[in-house]
Structure 1
Amino acid sequence: MTSSPQPAGWYPDQQNPRMYRWWDGQAWTANTRPSHDAEMIELDIEGAHDPDKIRAQVARGTQGRGGAVTGGGTLFSEPVLVVNQRAKLIEMSNEFGVFDQNGNRLGGVVQVGQSTFKKAIRLLTNYDQYLTHRFEIRDANHSTVLKVTRPAKVFKSRFLVTKADDSPIGEIVQENVFGKIRLGFLVNGQKVGGIFAENWRAWNFVIKDHADVEIARITKTWGGFVKAAFTTADNYVVEIHRPLRDPLASMVVASALTIDTALKQDDRN
């Protein structure tokens, strides 16, 4: 039995998740258009990712600890995740690329469900942090593997982590407002771990399990002068010290998004 050919239509571009490419029923064409998540008003100042720069970023972030072990080539099986926010002069939604330590793309994180009202608030004010935000964590094939929702907040952030089918996994809860920030991982009401800033600037973080044992580390890395001077985009290297099982594995992967959203965005106010 032979499979039926893929029908003609617009499909996510394998090289650029912000674009759709036209499949004519037999081959990919040169015709592209922005995906529904892409905003034409956003001014992108970055091109395609550079594997050499990512390897250098890993060396800085891990201080030479990376590269000894390779994983299974997925978001949940690699010992080192490089999380780079896409740099935009005008930012209407968050977008991150996730790579392994050799610069291979593992997936990404895209902010979804932004209404025209929310986009206007983000462009014109600093009040978007008080609104609900939704994100999708996608694998290298652009399939959603996790969803993260941050309900509207006042002082402390809370993130709901679910599978692609919306079945719940757990929550990431901000535990304090002042001092070195802490966020706890809650699954079925029980704390299974958390993120702890190592200094008040929240530059580097450790991730611990329920027994207070370090299982991962998040290090913020320099994104270059243009990125630092003209945008709020951040780069992170996530080191996972040992293979993790769900739900902890999903909570750790989701936390890379949580750190940027909870701290960097709120710092604008």
Structure 2
Amino acid sequence: MTSSSRQAGGGTLFTEPFLVVSRRARLSGMANEFAVLDQHGKPLGAVVEADRSALRKTLRTLTNSDRFRPHCFEVRDSGGSVVLKVRAHDSRFLVTRADGTPIGAIAADGRTRFTFSARGRTVGTLQDRGGGGYGLTGASGTEVARATKTLHGALRETFTGGDHYVVEVFAQLTDPLASLVIAAALTLGTALRPTW
């Protein structure tokens, strides 16, 4: 893939060089839904805080407690189909395909670092870079993506206000790293709240 074709993007969550996550939650039932857009504002998908448990929803509503906040995210494409599921258990996130096939895990490794693992081996990390940004690296330590609250150039002109963050993916990635990077980057704003 040439750099010019990479800049043009492929129109999907896994092929666009820039993913803009809107923090403006849209309520869908009792679940929050966050839009994912390309660099021009075209919808690519959504991240949905999904929770199937009626008891958890009721307790969350009655107690207004984060303890009962949904801990399951669905990453959906522009057609509404689930492409990834992320289930949080304490400081560990299990990432699966829509059908439940395991892809890997994202686990806290300190306060500001997460390790990506698949099939028993480390395939990358997510690290706080300070100043409102996170770097996502492959197993070799090379940065493959970056998530930042700072909008530059055309992105600043297209998206105004502090309710967006941008994920820049530097190269076409392959699985399992591609799915773990997308899962981490798109659930970042919700999973790390209120620190990010």
TM-score interval, normalised by the smaller of the two chains: 0.7 to 0.9
- Whether contact under 8 Å (2:73, 2:87) holds in the other structure is yes
Q: TM-score, normalised by structure 2?
A: 0.82
Aligned to 2:73: 135
Q: 2:124 pairs with 193, 201, 224, which one? A: 193
1:109 paired with 2:15, answer no
**Structure (1 or 2) with the greater strand fraction:** 2
Aligned positions, number: 184
Label 1:88 to 1:163 Cα distance change in 2 as closer, same or farther (>3 A). Answer: closer
Preserved CA contact (<8 Å) 2:45 2:80: yes
Structure 2: 5+ residue runs without aligned partners?
A: 152-158
Contact 1:118–1:128 at 8 Å: present in 2 too? no
Q: Based on CA coordinates, which of the two structures has the bigger radius of gyration? A: 1
- 147 and 214 in structure 1: CA distance in 2 versus 1, 3 angstrom threshold: same
Q: Find the aligned partners of 1:132 and 1:99 in 2 and give their Cα distance.
A: 23
Deviations along 1:139-198, one digit per CA (max 9) or x if unpaired, are: 1111111111112x2xxx111111111100000111113xxx001110012111011101
Amino acid paired to 2:76: R
Counterparts of 1:94 and 1:184 in 2: how far apart (Å)?
26
Q: Residue 173 of structure 1 corresponds to which residue in structure 2?
A: 107
Q: Provide the alpha-carbon RMSD of the alignment.
A: 2.8
1:216 pairs with 2:145: yes
Task: Give 1:38-117 correspondences, 5 Å limit.
Answer: 69-87=7-25, 92-117=30-55
Matched, 1:126 2:65: yes
Tell me if structure 2 keeps the 8 A contact 1:84–1:235.
Answer: yes
For the structure 1 residues 80 and 122, does the alpha-carbon distance in structure 2 shift closer, same or farther, using more than 3 Å as the test?
A: same
Task: Name the counterpart of 1:260.
Answer: 189
Query: Is contact 2:45-2:75 (8 Å) kept?
Result: yes
Identity across the alignment (%): 45
TM-score (normalised: structure 1): 0.61
Specify every segment of 5 or more residues in structure 1 that has no aligned partner in the other structure, as ranges.
1-66, 229-233
